[in-house]
A and B are shown apart, each in its own frame.
Chain A
Amino acid sequence: MNIRRRSFLLGSTAVGALAMVRAARAQDTARLKVRFEHDIGNLDPGNRIGSVEDNIINACCQTLVRYEPGATDWTLDAAREIVQVSDTEFTFELNPGQMFSGGYGEMTAEDVKFTIDRFIHGDANGNPLAFADDLGAIESVEVTGPYSGRVRLRHPSPALWRVGLGDASGAILSKKAVEELGEAIGTTLVGSGRYELAEWRPNEGLTLVRREDFAGVNPGHYDEIAVRVIPEEQTAALAFMADETDFSPVTYEFRDRINAIPGAHVIDQDGTDYTWIGMNVEAGPLSDLRVRQAIRLGIDIDAILAGAYGGDAGRARSMLAPGILGYWEDAPSYGYDPVQARALLDEAGYASVDLTFTSLNDAQSLAVAQIAQATLAPAGVNLTLNALDPGAFWAMGANDASAVLELALVPYSSKTDPGFQTQWFLSGQVGLWNWQRWQSEEFDRLHAEGNSTMDNARREEIYIRMQQLLDESATCVWITHGRHHFACRDWLSPALLTNPQTWQFENFAPV
């Protein structure tokens, strides 16, 4: 083969040019590059999917109040003043001059009313929003002036501030924009926040640009935030190593490698989610409390944390994580005791018990299942593992499909209000998301009281008691609240809320 000199030079030049393009991009410090694990699904705050949308909505929209990193109480955001008239009524006064992006004008009380009315009455077609429950305590909104209004509640609701008004569900939308864009609002977010969604490339990424006409106080240190969607963890770690991202969620397997990179480190933050092994109280031997207690003693949680979580995640002793109101500090920690477990089974009249253990089919869930299987065997509990893909697994939450479950490994995400967590264990959720099918009148009553009590001290008592009831039922073997890891440049100070999956881009700043 005769490679000509001209062809060789042209080819070499092309490769060199490609490398120069990349080098130039890596030095851009007015532009922050972050990674998302998923693409956006729907940016309509009432129909959003999860934390990815939350982070975009939080950056592009304002809420009446907001929570700052590390704070337990809200601060004012779009509202200049909030006056709590009674437990079921408050008034608000907006800051004037808060402009929506896209030329949709100034925010007024009409926009606040329109936003909340969507949650109460549904969208333009009357369809209820997926997140309607977040503002479900609100009965009506009355506009009393261009920037002022009055909000009446059906009942007192402490959760309203945490998971509603101060969260992505409380993002104030432009009435004019929603009426004009219709369902396109899901991919064309119009807000009054520090950033606006300038570009979205489906399945690839999006770009937020800082708005110079923003009237609020949130700094927004970066001119541009470029989000790259990278689903694969290995690819995400390599992208960080290659300077394609500056801030990226990573899994614990990459922690050491990232920490070894000059100018980079890993931020570790305990999560507030909750993962547990649930037992169906209607499934044969599991109806006997002693059998459930035996299983609780026969599962080696420490081995699960070491084997499935790499020794990285802390142990959960109850439902609510530290930092969440109602955290039960004195919750018991059940050590691995197969001898006692066997004794309990004997007392219940079982020489051995055969059960099916259902879980998701990802590597971590499978590891948990296998360790549970191995550690329960000496106690006389024989598990058959049933790993399901997410579609089949989450389908258990409908049409009483969970009736066939016996043991199930369940991972739920959390909110900062405890009532959001406890709602899935109510009697009314049997056949839906209460896969333990455990029912307790006291638990249900306490949940209702907790949702309508404004006294934090009383709420704390309530939620601790609810967790005690769950503990006494022995229907849940708590595993972990999770631990999140973020690869981060040394020059960057990110802003993460109590739930580490919630970020505030406007507070990301250079160190």
Chain B
Amino acid sequence: MRAVLRFSGSRLISAAITLVGAMVALFLILRLVPGDVVSVMLGPRATPELRARLAAEMGLDRGTLEQLWIFLSRAAVGDFGTDVISRRPIFDIVTEVLPHTLALALAGMGTSLLAGIPLGVLAAWRPGGLLDRALGVLSVSLITTPALVVAILLLVVFSAHLRWLPVSGAGEPGDLLDQAAHLVLPTLAIALGWIGYIARLVRAALLEVMAEPHVRTLRAYGVSEARLVRHFALRPALVPVVAILGIGLGDMIGSAVFAELIFARPGLGRLMEAAIGNRNYPVLQASVVIVVVIYITANLLTDLLNAALDPRVARSLHESGP
């Protein structure tokens, strides 16, 4: 337990450093990009006086280092200021769309695992067989097909023509069935590539584990293949899958940008896309901070899960102690 706490503590410290570094980098990059939110949103109605007033309100009339310090110190307590356009707290703007992005990303990750793992197991069942080769073609096809193409095709087939599933939105609040219906196509769009990837990963890991001496011995003792996979091989074979979950979640959140645009879903991705175009720096900075926090948290949790799954990882935590 002590080793786990020590491990978590060190990861939290490095996570904080990563977070601050990401915020500083974003802050500096944004200051290099021309344009301001008032000119973009109001066009010719953006008078010099209005522009100056809102720039002062956003603190843009101060020195870069001063702006950076103000941003970091306020972000540390969750204060991202007020949006100059809507006059709403930026924290509220970001957190009200965050659940939609998380739902989409988690649904995507869950779908990838639920479909990818069984496909990988099936492929490894008879390596080189017809099913393995077919699943290999399927997996690579899923990986290489651009998600944007998949999304449009899904919309055309299942929404516009078959009318089985909705085109746009997140569904009626409080209506779980409706919200689930609105989640199906976007989830498939972002998950299909990962299904193929996880299937290939599980196949490779499982074949490696199945060739290990202890598994060969168990087979020689008459243990069935199904029991071998279920009880002795699958768990160690999932270690590489768990290892990429954190990265996968980050990728899902990144994919959520285009999914939210194509399917007109509310979410962090769409918020950031609009903020970039509108040069709404405060909203963009707050959104990125949230995304980085999620990413860091997800990686920390996958590391801990990995330790739980693989005794060798847990042992290394103990051995790294005083």
Report, nearest first, the 9 A-B pairs whose CB atoms are least far apart. A391-B35, A203-B266, A183-B87, A395-B35, A18-B181, A230-B264, A391-B279, A394-B39, A239-B167
Q: A17-B177, A234-B152, A238-B156 are contacts. A395–B85 as well, Cβ < 8 Å?
A: no
Q: Total interface residues on A, using CB and 8 Å?
A: 53
CB < 8 Å neighbour of A238 from B159, B177, B278: B159
Taken together as a complex, chains A and B put the C-alpha atoms of A22 and B180 apart, in Å, by 12
Q: Are A397 and B43 in contact (CB under 8 A)?
A: yes
Taken together as a complex, chains A and B put the C-alpha atoms of A397 and B48 apart, in Å, by 9
Minimum CB distance partner of B97 in chain A: A203
Shortest distance between the CB of B253 and any CB in chain A (Å): 16
Is residue B2 within 8 Å, beta carbon to beta carbon, of the partner chain? no
Interface residues of B in 73-92 (CB under 8 A from A): 85-88
CB < 8 Å neighbour of B49 from A128, A231, A232, A390: A128
Taken together as a complex, chains A and B put the C-alpha atoms of A418 and B88 apart, in Å, by 35
Q: A1-B118, A238-B156 are contacts. A397–B163 as well, Cβ < 8 Å?
A: no
Interface residues of A in 381-418 (CB under 8 A from B): 389-395, 397-398, 412-413
Is residue B317 within 8 Å, beta carbon to beta carbon, of the partner chain? no
Q: Are B85 and A49 in contact (CB under 8 A)?
A: yes
Interface residues of A in 439-484 (CB under 8 A from B): none
Shortest distance between the CB of A232 and any CB in chain B (Å): 6
Q: Are B168 and A230 in contact (CB under 8 A)?
A: yes
CB < 8 Å neighbour of B266 from A22, A204, A239: A204
Taken together as a complex, chains A and B put the C-alpha atoms of A42 and B38 apart, in Å, by 13
Q: Are B155 and A238 in contact (CB under 8 A)?
A: yes
Q: Are A232 and B264 in contact (CB under 8 A)?
A: yes
Q: Are A202 and B97 in contact (CB under 8 A)?
A: yes
Interface residues of A in 332-390 (CB under 8 A from B): 389-390
Taken together as a complex, chains A and B put the C-alpha atoms of A183 and B83 apart, in Å, by 11
Set of chain A residues within 8 Å of B170, measured between Cβ atoms: 201, 204
Q: Are A235 and B173 in contact (CB under 8 A)?
A: no
Taken together as a complex, chains A and B put the C-alpha atoms of A239 and B165 apart, in Å, by 11
Q: Are B40 and A231 in contact (CB under 8 A)?
A: no
Shortest distance between the CB of A389 and any CB in chain B (Å): 7
Is residue B50 within 8 Å, beta carbon to beta carbon, of the partner chain? yes
Minimum CB distance partner of A244 in chain B: B167
Is residue B108 within 8 Å, beta carbon to beta carbon, of the partner chain? no
Q: Secondary structure of the B side of the interface?
A: helix
Is residue B140 within 8 Å, beta carbon to beta carbon, of the partner chain? no
Q: Are A395 and B34 in contact (CB under 8 A)?
A: yes
Q: Are A21 and B35 in contact (CB under 8 A)?
A: no
Contact with B along A86-103 (1 / 0, CB 8 A): 000000000000000000
Shortest distance between the CB of A301 and any CB in chain B (Å): 24
Set of chain B residues within 8 Å of A19, measured between Cβ atoms: 163-165
Shortest distance between the CB of A426 and any CB in chain B (Å): 12
Is residue B134 within 8 Å, beta carbon to beta carbon, of the partner chain? no
Taken together as a complex, chains A and B put the C-alpha atoms of A426 and B44 apart, in Å, by 13
Set of chain A residues within 8 Å of B261, measured between Cβ atoms: 231-232, 235
Is residue B142 within 8 Å, beta carbon to beta carbon, of the partner chain? no
Shortest distance between the CB of B81 and any CB in chain A (Å): 13
Q: Are B181 and A22 in contact (CB under 8 A)?
A: yes
Set of chain B residues within 8 Å of A23, measured between Cβ atoms: 163
Interface residues of B in 132-180 (CB under 8 A from A): 152, 155-156, 159-160, 163-170, 173, 175, 177-178, 180
Q: Are A21 and B178 in contact (CB under 8 A)?
A: yes
Interface residues of B in 262-278 (CB under 8 A from A): 262-267, 270-271, 276-278
Taken together as a complex, chains A and B put the C-alpha atoms of A241 and B163 apart, in Å, by 9
Shortest distance between the CB of B84 and any CB in chain A (Å): 10
Besides A202-B266, A238-B167, A394-B39, 9 other CB < 8 A contacts? Answer: A1-B122, A19-B165, A21-B181, A22-B166, A127-B53, A133-B45, A202-B96, A228-B168, A391-B39
Shortest distance between the CB of B196 and any CB in chain A (Å): 18
Minimum CB distance partner of B258 in chain A: A232
Q: Are B35 and A228 in contact (CB under 8 A)?
A: no
Q: Are B180 and A18 in contact (CB under 8 A)?
A: yes
Interface residues of A in 1-32 (CB under 8 A from B): 1, 15, 17-19, 21-23
Is residue B5 within 8 Å, beta carbon to beta carbon, of the partner chain? no
CB < 8 Å neighbour of A398 from B51, B159, B164, B267: B51
Is residue A69 within 8 Å, beta carbon to beta carbon, of the partner chain? no
Is residue B70 within 8 Å, beta carbon to beta carbon, of the partner chain? no
Set of chain A residues within 8 Å of B173, measured between Cβ atoms: 201
Shortest distance between the CB of B107 and any CB in chain A (Å): 15
Taken together as a complex, chains A and B put the C-alpha atoms of A433 and B44 apart, in Å, by 6
Between A and B, 28 residue pairs with Cβ closer than 8 Å are A18-B164, A18-B180, A19-B163, A21-B175, A22-B165, A23-B163, A41-B85, A42-B87, A130-B50, A133-B45, A201-B170, A202-B93, A202-B97, A202-B266, A203-B271, A204-B264, A204-B265, A234-B152, A239-B167, A242-B166, A391-B33, A391-B40, A394-B35, A395-B34, A395-B36, A397-B39, A398-B46, A432-B44
Taken together as a complex, chains A and B put the C-alpha atoms of A390 and B96 apart, in Å, by 26
Which A positions have Cβ atoms within 8 angstroms of B? 1, 15, 17-19, 21-23, 41-42, 49, 127-128, 130-131, 133, 183-184, 186-187, 201-205, 228-232, 234-236, 238-239, 241-244, 389-395, 397-398, 412-413, 424, 432-433
Interface residues of B in 86-124 (CB under 8 A from A): 86-88, 93, 96-97, 118, 122
Q: Are B160 and A238 in contact (CB under 8 A)?
A: yes
Q: Are B87 and A239 in contact (CB under 8 A)?
A: no
Set of chain A residues within 8 Å of B168, measured between Cβ atoms: 228, 230, 235, 239, 244
Contact with A along B50-64 (1 / 0, CB 8 A): 110100000000000
Count contacts between A and B, CB distance < 8 Å: 152
Set of chain B residues within 8 Å of A241, measured between Cβ atoms: 160
Which B positions have Cβ atoms within 8 angstroms of A? 33-36, 39-46, 48-51, 53, 85-88, 93, 96-97, 118, 122, 152, 155-156, 159-160, 163-170, 173, 175, 177-178, 180-181, 184, 261-267, 270-271, 276-279
Minimum CB distance partner of B277 in chain A: A390
Set of chain B residues within 8 Å of A15, measured between Cβ atoms: 164
Set of chain A residues within 8 Å of B87, measured between Cβ atoms: 42, 183-184, 186
Q: A184-B87, A202-B96 are contacts. A235–B178 as well, Cβ < 8 Å?
A: no
Q: Are A392 and B264 in contact (CB under 8 A)?
A: no
Q: Are A235 and B155 in contact (CB under 8 A)?
A: yes
Shortest distance between the CB of B176 and any CB in chain A (Å): 11
Q: Are A187 and B86 in contact (CB under 8 A)?
A: yes
Set of chain B residues within 8 Å of A18, measured between Cβ atoms: 164-165, 177, 180-181, 184
Shortest distance between the CB of B200 and any CB in chain A (Å): 18
CB < 8 Å neighbour of A244 from B50, B166, B271, B279: B166
Set of chain A residues within 8 Å of B278, measured between Cβ atoms: 390-391
Q: Are A228 and B264 in contact (CB under 8 A)?
A: yes
Set of chain A residues within 8 Å of B97, measured between Cβ atoms: 202-203
Shortest distance between the CB of B120 and any CB in chain A (Å): 12
Set of chain A residues within 8 Å of B177, measured between Cβ atoms: 17-18, 21
Taken together as a complex, chains A and B put the C-alpha atoms of A21 and B170 apart, in Å, by 14
Minimum CB distance partner of A429 in chain B: B44
Set of chain B residues within 8 Å of A239, measured between Cβ atoms: 167-168, 264
Shortest distance between the CB of A362 and any CB in chain B (Å): 11
Minimum CB distance partner of B175 in chain A: A21
Minimum CB distance partner of A204 in chain B: B266
Taken together as a complex, chains A and B put the C-alpha atoms of A397 and B51 apart, in Å, by 11
